[in-house]
Copies of this chain bind each other. A is one copy, B any other.
Amino acid sequence: MENKLKGIEEVLLMGPGPSLTYPEVYEALAMPTLGHLDPYFIEIMDGIKGMLQEIFQTKNELTIPVSGTGSAGMETVLVNLIEPGDSVLVVINGVFGKRQLDIAQRLGADADALEFQWGTPVIPAEVEAKLRKKKYKIVAMVHAETSTGVRNPAEEVGRLVKEHGAFYILDTVTSLGGIEIAVDKWGVDAIYSGTQKCLSCPPGLSPVSFSPEAVDFIMNRKTKVPNWYLDMSMVANYWAGKKRAYHHTAPINMLYGLYAALHVVLEEGLEKVYRRHGEMHKKLAAGLEDLGIKMVVEPEFRLPMLNSVWIPEGVDDAEGRSRLRYDHLIEIGGGLGDFAGKVWRIGLMGNTAREEYVDRLLKALADIIK
């Protein structure tokens, strides 16, 4: 019987995630599986919670990884905080804001969208105007819009949301571990992320964190959460309860991987990690300019870890990426949604944000556009 695993090549992952997994994470994934109620495994869970609190800059007790990929984190946050008829404002400037809106609508929310042009950031004054006109229970936004490479003003919007007494939901799938996130300082009530971006752990888990006010709401909902798997009132008992009651079997080895990834990031130090992302971004941007490749986002709103560029003229989208993949063993991402066929997305995430990889990519790009 054929075994396809034997043919897996080492591809330099410079797309929108997954990024290049840390060696320590590979090692962790292959460590002996323990039971999900094993006392030593529970110590590992506690270690993960503590490290997530550090990287999210929060004291929130309910700071845990959800057993699913980043989108499961989005689902978790929305399904736990929304009850049918709740008024929700979703601030949108890309695919992932639209996804928040879609989920809110599926959950029966009275959801309004405030849309901004793709490739440009959210404008706080317009959010404020919207908040003055209508009382919202929840405001949701994406910090790092993975579909465009824009960094949204999460702190400013947070201040406004708090002034208007709403819950503030923030998507940090792409930003966590690459730029600063300060949950408590920014007044975030519910946040979610992914492991396969700047944490450089394979996809499979979604770190989330809920403020005490959000937890209080969840524990006193009028209706049961219409999602058993992601119901935080029960999941919390397993991750943070005194009795550590069984809910669902946790993804043990993936959690080893996340533990290792967080450990690597915190050993390097958050300040240093953020600086590395910024410096590699500058190096990449300069190199792209030399090649005549134009970035989509204005310099002051760019994310260091997700660089959108207009597909160079004369280069076919699929063919160009295919040549990178097969001639150079490099993956970059295509465009999503409105940007499909127009934009390429270059990731500098976690373990991928290194000088040698930036150089290798720039050389490969020079080859395929010549």
Give residues in A with beta carbon < 8 Å to B. Answer: 1-5, 7-11, 13, 15, 17-18, 20-21, 26-36, 38-40, 43-44, 47, 67-72, 74-75, 79, 99, 102-103, 105-108, 194, 196, 202-204, 224-229, 246-254, 256-257, 259-260, 263, 266-267, 325, 331, 336
Contact call A226/B226, Cβ cutoff below 8 A: yes
Quick check: B36 and A203 within 8 Å, CB to CB?
A: yes
Point out the residues of chain B lying under 8 angstroms from A11, CB to CB: 32, 34-35, 38
Residue of B nearest to A251 (CB): B204
Known A203-B250, A229-B72; judge A8-B34 contact (CB<8 A). Answer: yes
Note all chain B residues with C-beta closer than 8 A to A29. 26, 29-30, 253
Chain B, residue nearest A46 (CB): B4
User: With A33-B21, A99-B228 in contact, do A43 and B203 touch (Cβ < 8 Å)?
Assistant: no
Taking the closest CB of chain B, its distance from the CB of A305, in whole angstroms, is 15
Contact B204 A254 (CB under 8 A): yes
A249 adjacent to B69 (CB under 8 Å) = yes
Main secondary structure of the interface of A (DSSP, over half): loop
Q: How many monomers of this chain does the complex have?
A: 2
Distance between Cα atoms of A267 and B5 in the complex (Å)? 15
Whether the Cβ atoms of B5 and A31 lie closer than 8 Å is: yes
Chain B residue at minimum C-beta to C-beta distance from A321: B37
CA distance A39 to B331 in the complex (A): 11
Which chain B residues border A259 with CB–CB below 8 Å? 4-5
> Could you tell me if B204 and A7 are in contact, using CB atoms closer than 8 angstroms?
no
Once the chains are docked, how many angstroms separate the CA of A44 from the CA of B189?
Answer: 39
Which residues of the other chain, B, contact A106 by a CB distance below 8 angstroms?
224-228
Q: A325: which B residues are within 8 A, CB to CB?
A: 38-39
Q: How far is the CA of A228 from the CA of B18 in the complex (A)?
A: 21
Q: How far is the CB of A35 from chain B (nearest CB, A)?
A: 5
Closest chain-B Cβ to A20's Cβ sits at a distance in Å of: 7
8 Å CB contact of A32 from B9, B38, B260, B263: B9
A254 and B254 form a contact (CB under 8 A): yes
The answer to whether A266 and B75 touch across the interface, beta carbons within 8 angstroms, is no
User: Do the beta carbons of A27 and B28 come within 8 Å of each other?
Assistant: no
| Complex CA–CA separation, A227 to B78 (angstroms) | 10
Given contact pairs A32-B21, A33-B20, A71-B248, A5 touches B229 in the complex (Cβ within 8 A): no
Contacting pair B35 A266 (CB below 8 A): no
Q: Is the pair A227, B5 in contact by a Cβ cutoff of 8 Å?
A: no
Known: A44-B4, A204-B204, A226-B107. A251 touches B249 (CB 8 A): no
B102 close to A228 (CB less than 8 A) = yes
Q: Do residues B252 and A202 form an inter-chain contact, with CB atoms below 8 A?
A: yes
Contact of A40 among B8, B99, B251 (CB under 8 A): B8
Chain B hits for A13, CB < 8 A? 33-35
Q: Which residues of B contact A248 (CB under 8 A)?
A: 69-72
Would you call B3 and A263 a contact (CB within 8 A)? yes
